[in-house]
Amino acid sequence: MSDNTMPVIPVPAGLDTRCFVLGEGALKYLPQLLQQEFPGATPWLIADTNTWKAAGAEAEKLLIAAGMKPAAAYIFPGTPVLHPDFAYSEKLASVMPENCVPVAVGSGVINDLVKCAAGLKKLPYCCVPTACSVDGFTSAGAALAVNHNKQTVKCPAPAALCADTSIMATAPGPMLSSGFADLLTKVVAGADWIIADTVGEQAIREDVWQLIQGNIRRWVSDSKDMLNIFEGLAATGYSMQMMLDSRPASGSEHLFSHVWEMEGLQKDGTDVSHGFKVGVGLLATALLMEYIISTPVKEAFAHAQSVLSTEERSAEIDKLLVKNCYGAEPKKISLAKFKTGNAAAQRRELIASVWEELGAKLSKQLYTFEELRAMLKNADCPVTPAEIGLSNEQFLHGIKTAQLIRNRYTVLDFLYEAGLLDEAMKNLEKMMQ
């Protein structure tokens, strides 16, 4: 490869993201990338004081040296920590220069703010990540608080990315650990998709499946290999762009994390990173799935609870939602998917009939709980509820509540419909010593 050839990683066709440059020292290709993908547009760098130091200032120098005339950069304060608030995106959109290409220089929050602002102005943008911390760099939609309510605001993924591993290597260590944990969730998220596919709730889409599951074991093989991990996180974003849905990237482990987030989870007064929450979540998911793998169908169903009446279920849901911090949706969603009478009986029959075949599929898809825990520990990620600030009680409460909050079919629905969720949750003891 000659020095002037951009280290381009192929991107599946037909996505918002058209060009992905990844490598050590890749920032030097930013001028070339912008000229190629956004001809004639004025670069407009957006950063905070930290990411400006890490990459923004150098990027501006490179653009000027290449004869480009970047607009005056927009730099947020680095402290206090910038919150992903929709109001900042509106502000960015309102001051966005004419005929520009916004260039987000940052980790998750800056990218989400710029992604949304560019979406508001219907302009394609470029992202220069400064940490290898989440899979959201390449996904459509931005996770923002709109009037204090965290939601995914619709907007296109970045049209181009310029990811320099030597810059990302300067980010604090826990950010890479967090990115590794988020990537490792794709193993259990895939297993949740297998469950949904097996009971006919959501079919596996083969091309999307291959993009992630065909490569995941390679991507998670070394928790310090940033090139490999960022490639995996980026591909996860593409898979969501292809599906227009987060199914390929997110299963029950992400649902746990959403519940803990809504409950305002903090550890020693600070927010816990996304990756660390879903990392603990993925261990819980793995243990619930190990119950299916290791319990013969007859033995399992000997413990099944009987199906509740709608009134009983409604009371059970109210009890789980007693903290009142989850909004109105979970009650509606969980009652709508609750099965009674014939539908409930048929679902149980189906579950019993696929139980052992499914156990074999899950065992093939998953690493064991011990293996997953060792991988997370080795990557300096927390592996117990206490390490992310959860009491055992709050941990267990989150597992049951997570089944209520979304329509995504996971191991939680499967076990609940079988009348075996409480029984399977006994396995979680292994995480709570």
- Per CB under 5 A, residues contacting Zn ion are 182
Nearest to 418 by CA among 305, 264, 253, 287: 305
Under 8 Å between Cβ of 399 and 258: no
Q: How many angstroms separate the CA atoms of 290 and 431, rounded?
A: 13
3-class SS at 115? helix
Give the CB-side neighbour count of residue 356, counting CA atoms within 13 A.
6
| Position closest to Zn ion via CB | 182
Cβ 35 to Zn ion, closest distance in Å? Answer: 33
The amino acid present at 239, given as its one-letter code, is S
Q: Which of 33/144 has CB closer to Zn ion? A: 144
Cβ 32 to Zn ion, closest distance in Å? Answer: 31
Q: Which of 93/278 has CB closer to Zn ion? A: 278
Q: Which of 223/295 has CB closer to Zn ion? A: 223
Cβ 61 to Zn ion, closest distance in Å? Answer: 34
Q: Which of 60/253 has CB closer to Zn ion? A: 253
Cβ 398 to Zn ion, closest distance in Å? Answer: 16
Under 8 Å between Cβ of 400 and 424: no
Under 8 Å between Cβ of 24 and 165: yes
Q: Which of 182/192 has CB closer to Zn ion? A: 182
3-class SS at 31? helix
Nearest to 221 by CA among 177, 161, 180, 266: 180
Cβ 254 to Zn ion, closest distance in Å? Answer: 6
Cβ 180 to Zn ion, closest distance in Å? Answer: 12
The amino acid present at 326, given as its one-letter code, is Y
For the chain, helix, strand, coil in percent to 5 are: 55, 10, 30
Q: Which of 150/364 has CB closer to Zn ion? A: 150
The amino acid present at 36, given as its one-letter code, is Q
Cβ 282 to Zn ion, closest distance in Å? Answer: 10
Cβ 178 to Zn ion, closest distance in Å? Answer: 9
Q: Which of 48/182 has CB closer to Zn ion? A: 182
Q: Which of 19/116 has CB closer to Zn ion? A: 116
Task: Kindly calculate the radius of gyration of the chain based on its CA atoms and give it in whole angstroms.
Answer: 22
The total number of residues shown for the chain amounts to 433
Nearest to 261 by CA among 182, 145, 180, 136: 145
